[in-house]
Structure 1
Amino acid sequence: MWITSTPERALTPTAIALGNFDGVHQGHRNVIQPVLEQSVRSTVVTFHPHPREYFSGQPCSLLTPLEEKISHLKALGIQQLVLLPFNQELAALCAEEFVQKILIEQLHPHYISVGEDFRFGYKRQGSAQDLRAIASSYHVAVNIANLRTKAKERISSSRIREAINQGQVELAKQLLGRPYTLNGTVVTGEQRGRTIGFPTANLVLPRNKLIPCYGVYAVEVTSITYPLLSPHPAVMNIGMRPTVNGQHPTIEIHLLDWTGDLYQHSLSVQLKQFLRPEAKFESLEALKAQINKDCETARQLLPYPSSQPINS
């Protein structure tokens, strides 16, 4: 996939899927699929940084940080990704100027696809219908994709973020079309888990990845840097660890019935079910008893790999 943040360097002509595409969810795939069916180069045009980050001046927590978004778009078969630098100049363009100066003059589209809620131009004054009307004057067809599930529920990145923030793992999966996943690197932690019989891998995520709500999850773990680690059941805790007076939030993963050294390895963690909120226990013994219950619940929920657990 050709990736550029300079529209003048884009390979043309194009069939464009236009939007933010945070999450690359089911609705986004409704926007992207018609572009893949065109005879010219399939191209996703998105904004970087996310417009919300530009306008707020604050880092924006994303369902799919850029590297993860790229991976999903490649998997769909997109041939080109154009990252429009979202800055004051771009934000000031009216709808007509955006279509003419960015899309028509630089990207030479034969076809454009957007979601039904797409907004663009100065102060988001342009709608999907406006885009269709403006583009028609350049003889460019615009597809406006439906963004609803079969149950007529609207799919949006903000709805998925809300579900993840509330621990609604199954709803997030339905809207995304896949489990919500955390991709990160294992680093050395305080190693408290070893002292109570539950060693954990401490995961560090990209700085702008949306972290789910605090609590305990049943998860499934894979690794591209540790290929012997088949999809493996695990329990993940996200939070402050109040029982041991934790000073900062951590993401700790205990792989069930498995031993090994995962330091500096990259893990991919799929959220399968929210088990319980974070809680403070009266003693380490009470904490251990609850972790045992969490592990047993996860064993009942999650399949084990066909091979025996790995020991090293």
Structure 2
Amino acid sequence: MITTESLEENLPAGPSAIALGLFDGVHRGHQAVIGAAVAQRGAGLIPCVFTFTTMGGAPESKRDFSLLQTEAQKEKTLERLGVEWVITPDFSRFRGMSPQDFVTQVLVEKMNAKFIACGEDFHFGKDAAGSARDLQEICAPLGVEVQLVPPVLEKGEPISSTRIRRALREGEVEAVDRLLGRPFAIEGEVIHGRQLGRAMGCPTTNQRFPIGMTIPKFGVYAVVVTLPDGRRYTGAANVGVKPTVGSEEVLCETLLNGFSGDLYGQNLTVEFHRFIRGEQKFPSLEELFDTIRENARQAGEICREAL
């Protein structure tokens, strides 16, 4: 898969099928839009995703969002879905374009679009003035087919990134995983902590949350951890500020079942599968680590089938 921020060069050489959207999380609703574009490969079109970074400002309708995936995670997910090109120009570059100009100058002239897929609630152009229906009307005389993909429902309600963030902040990770179509996960380097767990015979890994990532409800989760070499372990991860020993920042601290070794400086992926308990302050380190060991045992049972 090729990823580019440029709209001037290194773009698909042939006719393309484009999925349009922010795709902040690539949840099951987003996957339906992307799948519509990928399906056009059989018609000889190059499956592309046109999304954007927000370094220069986000759309007004997206002001209250936090990440459900990092850009690196998003790229891996898109590649697994069959996307061949991802175009991610900064939003500030085209936020002032009219809907007509965006379609003709960007999608058609630069990307050679022959097919476009988007959600029914998609808006584009200056001040989000263009609707999905406007997109169809602009594209029709240009010979570009537009498919409006209806929302994917879960328990009768549309799947949305807002709904997923709300569930995550309430600790409802099983619901989050259903809505995403995969486990919510963070990736990050193992950093040095106070090594109290090691001193207590209960070594743990500490990771910061990526900047801008949605932070789950503080507490302990049953997780599966993937090491850089592909080995996977169950474990218990505490999200929060460690009230028993204190932390100046929110961390993800994980006890891996059955692992021994040094993971400092390595990048681990932590998948969240179930909320076990809220974060709490213990009267002693002994009680804290006894509880962590029991939580890890519980997590091993919960996540056995996820390995």
Whether the TM-score (by the shorter chain) exceeds 0.5 is: yes
- TM-score, structure 1 normalization: 0.89
Find the aligned partners of 2:147 and 2:55 in 1 and give their Cα distance: 23
CA contact (8 A) 1:216 1:237 kept: yes
Q: Could you list the per-position Cα deviations for residues 100-142 of structure 1 after superposition, in whole angstroms to 9, with x for gaps in the alignment? A: 2221221121000001221111221221111111111212110
- Residue equivalent to 1:167: 171
- Residue equivalent to 1:281: 282
- Residue equivalent to 1:266: 267
**Cα distance, 1:173 vs structure 2:** 0.7
- Residue equivalent to 1:3: 3
Calculate percent identity across the aligned residue pairs.
37
**Cα distance, 1:34 vs structure 2:** 1.7
**Are residues 1:25 and 2:27 paired?**
yes
- Residue equivalent to 1:185: 189
Find the aligned partners of 1:59 and 1:304 in 2 and give their Cα distance: 35
Change (3 A) 1:134 1:305: closer
Q: Which runs of 5+ in 2 are unaligned?
A: none
Change (3 A) 1:304 1:6: closer
**Are residues 1:83 and 2:88 paired?**
yes
Find the aligned partners of 1:44 and 1:285 in 2 and give their Cα distance: 51
Q: Of 47, 51, 66, which residue of structure 1 is paired with 2:71?
A: 66
SS where residue 43 of structure 1 aligns? strand
| One-letter amino acid matched to 1:18 | L
Find the aligned partners of 2:156 and 2:137 in 1 and give their Cα distance: 27
Find the aligned partners of 2:272 and 2:55 in 1 and give their Cα distance: 25
User: In the comparison of the two structures, how many residue pairs are matched?
Assistant: 302
Q: Which runs of 5+ in 1 are unaligned?
A: 307-312
**Cα distance, 1:305 vs structure 2:** 9.4
Q: Of 139, 146, 149, which residue of structure 1 is paired with 2:150?
A: 146
**Cα distance, 1:153 vs structure 2:** 2.2
CA contact (8 A) 2:15 2:45 kept: yes
**Cα distance, 1:247 vs structure 2:** 2.4
- Residue equivalent to 1:298: 299
Find the aligned partners of 2:113 and 2:205 in 1 and give their Cα distance: 47
Change (3 A) 1:171 1:59: closer
CA contact (8 A) 1:185 1:205 kept: no
Change (3 A) 1:52 1:118: farther
CA contact (8 A) 1:50 1:60 kept: no
CA contact (8 A) 2:203 2:255 kept: yes
Find the aligned partners of 1:109 and 1:2 in 2 and give their Cα distance: 17
Find the aligned partners of 2:116 and 2:133 in 1 and give their Cα distance: 12
Q: Of 40, 49, 72, which residue of structure 1 is paired with 2:45?
A: 40
Change (3 A) 1:252 1:63: same
Find the aligned partners of 1:54 and 1:133 in 2 and give their Cα distance: 23
| One-letter amino acid matched to 2:47 | S
**Are residues 1:251 and 2:252 paired?**
yes
User: What pairs up with 1:80-119 in 2 under 5 angstroms?
Assistant: 80-87=85-92, 89-119=93-123
| One-letter amino acid matched to 2:248 | Q
